[in-house]
Structure 1
Amino acid sequence: MSPSLIYHVTSSLDGYIARPDGHIDWFASLRQADEEYSFQYFYSGIDALLMGRGTYEALLKRGGAWPYPGKPCVVLTRLPLPRASDEVQLTHCTPAQAVAALGEAGFQRVWLVGGSLLAGSCYTAGLIDEVVINLVPHLLGAGIPLLATGMERSLTLSDQRRFNSGTLQVHYKVQNPASQQPPSRINAA
């Protein structure tokens, strides 16, 4: 059985997840205790992580301890990179193959961690089941978009909440493309 893939991400109000240079300093200082609690609750409910090379390299550059302890993390990369933790697996495969392998290993809820390119590829391939966006009250004007590529698809609002910082969290279920009805045609008589 395929696990649920959840794209949980922070975005500026104008749809960017990072500055053009990849920096995310614009939202870290705004985060308050209620947001941290919400994130810890989310993190406790996932089994594994799926990450792209760009996000992984940004975490390595930041230094310090591995920020996602206690969860296996599959990083999709073609490059030989250092392993930040024993929990990190570096592999070269498609997102669909990675998700299938995580499912075969018994993982049920997988967090798609950052990465506009990987998120766009997963979304286009129909792999993303849920989208959780923390909309920060900040306009960047330019940067790395929420999804680098994608297809039109309807979402169903599952939950919403407002944090003390003014950040809004919206949680959507991605509708299965097969279940969507094509627009009805009106016949002109």
Structure 2
Amino acid sequence: MHLVKVGRDQEVLATIGRAVARLGVTDAAITLVGAVHEARVSVMRKSDAFDDLVRDYAQPFELTGTGEVSGGAVHLHATLAGEDLVVCGHLHAATVRDFFVHAYVTPLCTGGPTVPKLRVHNITTSLDGFAAGPSQDSEHPLGVGGERLHEWIFKTRYGRAMIGRDGGSEGLDDAFLRRGDDNIGATVMGRNMFGPIRGAWGDNSWSGWWGDEPPYHHDVFVLTHHPRADLTMRGGTTFHFVTDGLDAALAQAFAAAAGQDVRLGGGAATIRAALTAGLVDELHVTVAPILLGTGEPLFADNAAAAYRVTDFTPSDQVTHYVLTRPAPPNASPAPPNASPT
């Protein structure tokens, strides 16, 4: 996946087109997200194929959408939502005069094999760096006060659909949430993320926080020190309980993903272990404007020292950061085990 930034006074289609040509991408999928203060746009509305809307806008609005590259040609299907504007259609042109637009170009065919990645998405921290509050248990799965970290999720259409509700925003936050599902073939998580039980599993009645049909729909590998039989749920999710550590869980997950990427779901200790070992290819972390004071830190012990911020994008709820590993190490260090209990 390649990030294309469309900055001040740049034309969206032309900028993405130049980047696509430079990358040599001939077939790709595009996710378009951005916040625009001033722009001149030309869009053909879906409601009327012959109705072109060309206007200057001088108020903040979000420009989101999808697109594709076919034979090197870029096509975008956009939604613009502002104070007095909601337009869906094919984007002919958009010149950004202030703020920014980002296009994530995911090649479908680049003439060679792609290497599956280990990705972290939508992990949220407080301003003081905690990814969960203290005292996690069945009543407080994110620790005391930790549920405030994820309030932004359930204001989006994606998040509301997770809990069986309609409505929600379709802007920047929603787009980032959906990116977390793209091309994911398996998930790895720590035991704390799977549930509040510590020590032996007891009667095996705990089956996760997500009800009878978890949102994964693929194989999920749970780190634990205590053996347990596989647990198959509705909708295609099977939980596998791995007692051999993070490296074994990742090996099994990449095998199950069959060429797709693997998502590292958390919690914070599991992500820290993978970051410290340089195993994570891409980390998307959101920072919520709250203070927890104490809890589970994400970046303790300089875990992300080898990574760099390649993108940051504020919404009206949180700030999104994307961290990437600059280059694969010449030799992969032996990954430490995460610390499941």
Contact 1:117–1:148 (CA under 8 A) maintained in structure 2 = no
**Equivalent position SS for 1:39:** helix
Give, in angstroms, the shift of residue 150 of structure 1: 5.1
| TM-score where L is the length of structure 1 | 0.78
Counterpart of 1:121? 273
- Whose Rg is larger? 2
Aligned pairs for 1:26-65 within 5 A? 26-31=148-153, 32-33=155-156, 34=171, 35-58=173-196, 60=207, 62=209, 64-65=211-212
Identity of aligned pairs, percent? Answer: 25
**Equivalent position SS for 2:248:** helix
Contact 1:121–1:150 (CA under 8 A) maintained in structure 2 = no
Task: Determine which structure has greater relative contact order: mean sequence separation of CA pairs < 8 Å that are 6+ residues apart, divided by chain length.
Answer: 1
Alpha-carbon distance in structure 1 between the residues aligned to 2:228 and 2:329: 39
Higher helix proportion = 1
Contact 1:6–1:111 (CA under 8 A) maintained in structure 2 = yes
Aligned pairs for 1:69-84 within 5 A? 69-81=216-228, 83=231
Name which of structure 1's ranges 35-44 and 91-100 shifts more when overlaid on structure 2. 35-44
Alpha-carbon distance in structure 2 between the residues aligned to 1:80 and 1:55: 17
Counterpart of 2:242? 91
Give, in angstroms, the shift of residue 109 of structure 1: 1.2
| TM-score where L is the length of structure 2 | 0.46
Question: Which deviations, in whole Å up to 9, do the C-alpha atoms of 1:86-120 show, x marking residues without a partner?
Answer: 52111212212222233334243111112122112
1:153–1:27 distance in 2 versus 1, CA, 3 Å: closer
Between the two proteins, the alignment pairs up a number of residues equal to 178
Contact 2:227–2:243 (CA under 8 A) maintained in structure 1 = no
Say yes or no: does 1:7 pair with 2:7: no
**Equivalent position SS for 1:164:** coil
Give, in angstroms, the shift of residue 69 of structure 1: 3.0
Unaligned runs of 5+ in 2: 1-113, 137-141, 157-170, 197-205, 331-341
Alpha-carbon distance in structure 2 between the residues aligned to 1:3 and 1:147: 24
**Equivalent position SS for 1:43:** coil
Higher strand proportion = 2
Give, in angstroms, the shift of residue 46 of structure 1: 1.7
CA RMSD of aligned residues (A): 2.7
